[in-house]
Amino acid sequence: MTRRFLFSIIAATAFTLTSQAEVYTLDSCRNLAVGNNKTIRVADETLRGLGYERKAAKAAYLPGLDFNGGYMYNQRTINLLSENANLPTMSYDPVSGQYIPNLQLTPDMRPAIDPSSGQPIFSEVAVIPKEAMSFDTHNVVAGAFTLTQPVYMGGQIRALNEIAKYAETAAAAGRNSVVQEVIFSVDQAYWLVVSLKEKKKLAESFVSLVDTLRYSVNAMLEEGVATRSDLLMVDVKLNEARIALTKVDNGLTLSRMALAQLCGLPSNSNMTLADEDYKPYKPSAAEYSYNIQDVYADRQDLEVIRQGISLLSAREKLAKGLMLPKVAVVGAYEFSNPNLNNGFKKRFGGGFSVGATLSVPIWHWGGNYNHYKATKAATNAQRLLLEDMEEKVSLQVEQAKFSFQEAFKTYDMTVSNLKSADSNLESARYGFQEGVLTITDVIAAQTAWLQANSEKIDAEIGIHLCETYLSKVLGRMKY
């Protein structure tokens, strides 16, 4: 019995802990969204790849070692002679100090002539056998280790390194811009949930308010001081209030699902927000003084364009390098089998060689020059785009600042309107009890009270949203 009781307590405690909803602050929602957003993860991978590209570009300054090898089978043997070769010989004459051909002489001491060729006949010849000039090249293996050190490549290696660096910086700024957009979307969804939770409480209060009025009108109807039409009018209003409560409740559920999706959580997650028990908060507008040049420097979308200008300037240098000479030092070790180092031998043999290469572009019909001019035009276009974007950002900041200031004025007016609506509702109740006002006046006062409260909630949430948007356009949103 004791074990069962203990097990029941443990099971009840576990169920309570698992059924409790986790409380999420605005910062925790932001962190979840940034960590789980697929677009940001794609940007992270792109940034990681560009980091490797930058390292690869840096390696171009260093010497490169390559190996090339090959094998070839030849069907036939190489024969430099078709038959044995007979080479004429000469003897040294010490009297004349010259070499005299060993010619066959006739009885009259004249050189004998071959009738078929018309050439003198030599008495002695040196024989080169055909086999001595035949080489077995059926199987040939060759290879080379080559070391190449760039000396001057027309500035192209430096330009490639600059392109890789600027591309990585631009990708980082682009990633930060995406993060800011995600954070702004999370803030909107977060405060929408808070707003709808407050409006749900308001709708419940309004239903209770109208239901209390219905109870009073029903009692008056039984006493004969109210009409059936008055009760029907209140019933209609009560049904409208209940329908409005249902819509707000459904909207709250959907907004929680949307926030959960942004945070990378299952849409049916039971999320409870830390600000659901909302307390009005008004930040000081004086915190948002700014210098427009600092805004330009802090805006990540403008940073992407600035890095793009630097990248295109580096592309100009790359294109210019096509028109400049290039110098490199080359060292190699080459080997082959068979080899000819010391005669023809069927074994591996090789040797070292060192040299330099020079490449000078001379004439390409203006192709390289036109390519260079095209890159300069692209750079100028990017500069004009930056100027246009800065003008738009300046206007965007002014609009955000006015919206932020307007949010405070709207809030102050809604507070004043709510005080008037509260007083009007009390006066309507009192006038209805005294019989000087009709049920229509009371319903109108209740409706005005509902609208004033709803507008005050919207104004309070609007301050938060305007604050977030202003920090975004000023480039001060933390990411």
The 10s digit of each residue's pLDDT in 176-218 is 999 999 999 999 999 999 999 999 999 999 999 999 988 988 8
Q: Using an 8 Å Cβ cutoff, are 261 and 267 in contact?
A: yes
Is the confidence at residue 151, as pLDDT, over 90? yes
Tokens of 181: 């957009």
pLDDT digits (tens, 9 = 90+) for 49-72: 999 999 999 999 999 999 999 999
Give the pLDDT score at 4: 42
How far apart, in whole angstroms, are the C-alpha atoms of residue 465 and residue 302?
A: 23
Give the pLDDT score at 109: 76
Share of the chain above pLDDT 90, in %: 62
Give the pLDDT score at 204: 94
Is the confidence at residue 371, as pLDDT, over 80? yes
Is the confidence at residue 94, as pLDDT, over 80? yes
Who has greater pLDDT, 126 or 390? 390
If you average pLDDT over every residue of the chain, what do you get? 87
How far apart, in whole angstroms, are the C-alpha atoms of residue 453 and residue 456?
A: 5
Is the confidence at residue 5, as pLDDT, over 50? no
Give the pLDDT score at 279: 65
Identify the three-state secondary structure at position 32: helix
Is the confidence at residue 14, as pLDDT, over 50? no
Tokens of 393: 């950002």
Indicate the Cα dihedral angle 233, 207, 260, 411, nearest 10°.
90
Give the pLDDT score at 465: 92
Q: Report, as an integer, the average pLDDT of 353-360.
A: 93
Is the confidence at residue 220, as pLDDT, over 50? yes
Is the confidence at residue 375, as pLDDT, over 80? yes
Give me the amino acid identity at 31. Answer: N
Is the confidence at residue 264, as pLDDT, over 50? yes
Q: Using an 8 Å Cβ cutoff, are 120 and 169 in contact?
A: no
Q: Report, as an integer, the average pLDDT of 221-230.
A: 82
Is the confidence at residue 174, as pLDDT, over 90? yes
What is 44-95 written as a DSSP string? Answer: HHHHHHHHHHHHHHHGGGS-EEEEEEEEEE-SS-EES-SS-EEEE-EEEETT
Tokens of 311: 């990248």
Residue 365 DSSP label: T
Who has greater pLDDT, 171 or 224? 171
Give the pLDDT score at 157: 93
Q: Which residues contact 231 (CB under 8 A, 6 or more apart)?
A: 214, 217, 218, 221
Is the confidence at residue 478, as pLDDT, over 80? no
Q: Which residues contact 460 (CB under 8 A, 6 or more apart)?
A: 278, 280, 281, 411
Give the pLDDT score at 130: 78
Q: Report, as an integer, the average pLDDT of 161-189.
A: 95
Q: Using an 8 Å Cβ cutoff, are 241 and 454 in contact?
A: no
pLDDT digits (tens, 9 = 90+) for 270-303: 889 998 876 665 555 545 678 999 999 999 999 9
pLDDT digits (tens, 9 = 90+) for 115-138: 777 788 877 888 888 777 888 888
Q: Report, as an integer, the average pLDDT of 357-365.
A: 92
Contacts of 89-92 spanning 24+ positions with Cβ under 8 A: 89/122, 89/124, 89/125, 89/126
Place of tokens 């000087």: 436
Q: Report, as an integer, the average pLDDT of 434-452.
A: 89
Who has greater pLDDT, 438 or 45? 45
